[in-house]
């Protein structure tokens, strides 16, 4: 009999969610407005330190709103990390703009400052600067924000920080997601906390977030009748789901601690094996370790990522390759792309060798041991002088 399936990153309820849901039912706030929604936004402000937040139907919607607030429109260019989930870039296309993809660098796996610098220089020479740069914090790890910000500031280009995977992480002591003009979080079912589906847009620009709240509720003008002067969207979060979010946010610190422990146990169990390299943690940052990710050097490890994934799947363990870079996607075939340097394509390399292991905060030690044992059985063992250990 095969053992129960171990999922990559399943939802993990705190137990308090029902209280806020019941409250919404008792008071009949079954709508995309209400007390849970107001409170959830305030609580996100206090957790992140941003000045204002608006709760939306998804992280994708939050990116879309940020681009809309920055007046990104047809014919514009927007730079975006290439190593990410497609949702980071899709809203660029919703706005009729053109994405330009920027490679990763090896220390964070996130946007390479030197690739960004070349892309900005080219854009400057062409006389067509990007309207925004979308910087992704992958698997919880903050990008090199100081370097990226200083480049963007030289040309006065706003950063949208896609922190969908990095809620609870910090960069130099400050919350991940609060470094760009706008920050984006996701509460999709697989994220570190979840509302089943949902997102949040944050900023220190209070007026911009108020504008987003207006645009996300069909851009309804103040008038007794239904009057609209601007194009709006139906992007608000439901008051019921905001209740789930409130209970989830109360345990964010526990969730980060749990995921970091999971990383530590994988590292202890597998870190010494030949050909295995774990995703680094940049100095002065704390990653939430949303997913434990590592790369496999097939030659040294004696097995390819592909075969390893098949093997794990046979053991009923859900593992995944690292995101396929967006410049390699058929959807973005014609998009421009800047590599880390001429001969080094970091994101492509990570895609070929990377693997994400089950990392849910509710993963038990026994379950994790099952994953470790399966990997240990497949990878080349450590060779010491006395023989094999
Ligand atoms: C999950 C995710 C998104 C999209 O969030 P949704 O809430 O699913 O729309 C965007 N960017 C990254 C990097 C993500 O992981």
State pTM to two decimals. 0.97
pLDDT in tens, 275-333: 999 999 999 999 999 999 999 999 999 999 999 999 999 999 999 999 999 999 999 99
Task: Tally Cβ neighbours within 10 Å of residue 21.
Answer: 18
CA of 225 relative to ligand 1 center, distance in Å = 36
Domain ranges of the chain: 17-251, 253-379
Q: Determine the pLDDT at residue 380.
A: 84
Q: Which member of 191, 211, 314, 324 is catalytic?
A: 191
Cα distances from 13 to residues 195, 322, 324, 368, in angstroms, run 10, 26, 30, 19
User: Which residues in 289-319 are b (16+ Cβ under 10 Å) and which e?
Assistant: bbbbbbbbeeeebbbebeebbebbeebebbb
Q: Which portions of the chain are predicted below pLDDT 50?
A: none
DSSP letter for each residue of 174-226: EETT-SSSEEEEE--TTSSS--SS-EEEEES-HHHHHHHHHHTBTT--SSSS-
pLDDT in tens, 181-215: 999 999 999 999 999 999 999 999 999 999 999 99
Q: What architecture does CATH give domain 17-251?
A: 3-Layer(aba) Sandwich (3.40)
Q: Determine the pLDDT at residue 383.
A: 72
Q: In this structure, what token pair is assigned to residue 318?
A: 């859900």
Residue 337: DSSP 8-state: E
Q: Which of 9, 55, 186 to mutate to test the pocket of ligand 1 (most atoms within 8 A of CB)?
A: 186
Q: Say which CATH topology domain 253-379 has.
A: 3.90.1150
């Amino acid at each position: 009999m095969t053992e129960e399936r171990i999922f990559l990153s399943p939802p993990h309820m705190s137990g308090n969610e029902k209280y806020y849901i019941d409250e919404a039912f008792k008071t009949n706030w079954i709508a995309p407005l209400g007390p849970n929604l107001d409170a959830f936004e305030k609580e996100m402000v206090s957790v992140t330190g941003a000045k204002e937040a608006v709760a939306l139907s998804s992280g994708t919607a939050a990116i879309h709103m940020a681009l809309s607030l920055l007046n990104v429109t047809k014919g514009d260019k927007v730079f975006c990390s290439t190593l990410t989930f497609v949702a980071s870039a899709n809203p660029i296309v919703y706005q009729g703009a053109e994405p330009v993809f920027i490679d990763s660098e090896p220390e964070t796996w996130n946007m390479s400052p030197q690739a960004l610098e070349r892309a900005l220089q080219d854009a400057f020479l062409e006389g067509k600067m990007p309207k925004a740069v979308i910087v992704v914090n992958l698997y919880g790890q903050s990008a090199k924000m100081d370097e990226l910000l200083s480049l963007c500031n030289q040309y006065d280009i706003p950063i949208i920080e896609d922190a969908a995977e990095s809620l609870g992480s910090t960069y130099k002591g400050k919350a991940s997601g609060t470094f760009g003009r706008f920050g984006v979080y996701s509460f999709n079912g697989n994220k570190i906390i979840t509302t089943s589906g949902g997102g949040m847009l944050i900023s220190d620009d209070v007026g911009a977030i108020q504008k987003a709240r207006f645009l996300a509720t069909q851009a309804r003008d103040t008038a007794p009748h239904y009057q609209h002067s601007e194009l709006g969207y139906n992007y608000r979060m439901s008051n019921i789901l905001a209740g789930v979010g409130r209970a989830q946010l109360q345990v964010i610190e526990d969730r980060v601690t749990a995921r970091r422990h999971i990383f530590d146990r994988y590292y202890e169990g597998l870190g010494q094996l030949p050909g295995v390299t774990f995703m680094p943690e940049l100095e002065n940052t704390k990653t939430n370790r949303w997913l434990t990710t590592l790369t496999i050097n097939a030659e040294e490890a004696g097995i390819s990522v592909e075969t390893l994934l098949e093997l794990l799947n046979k053991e009923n363990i859900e593992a995944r390759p690292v995101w396929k870079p967006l410049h390699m996607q058929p959807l973005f075939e014609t998009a421009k792309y800047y590599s880390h340097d001429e001969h080094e394509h970091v994101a492509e390399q990570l895609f070929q060798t990377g693997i994400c292991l089950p990392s849910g905060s509710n993963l038990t030690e026994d379950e994790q041991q099952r994953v470790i044992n399966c990997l240990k059985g497949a990878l080349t063992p450590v060779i010491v002088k006395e023989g094999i250990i």
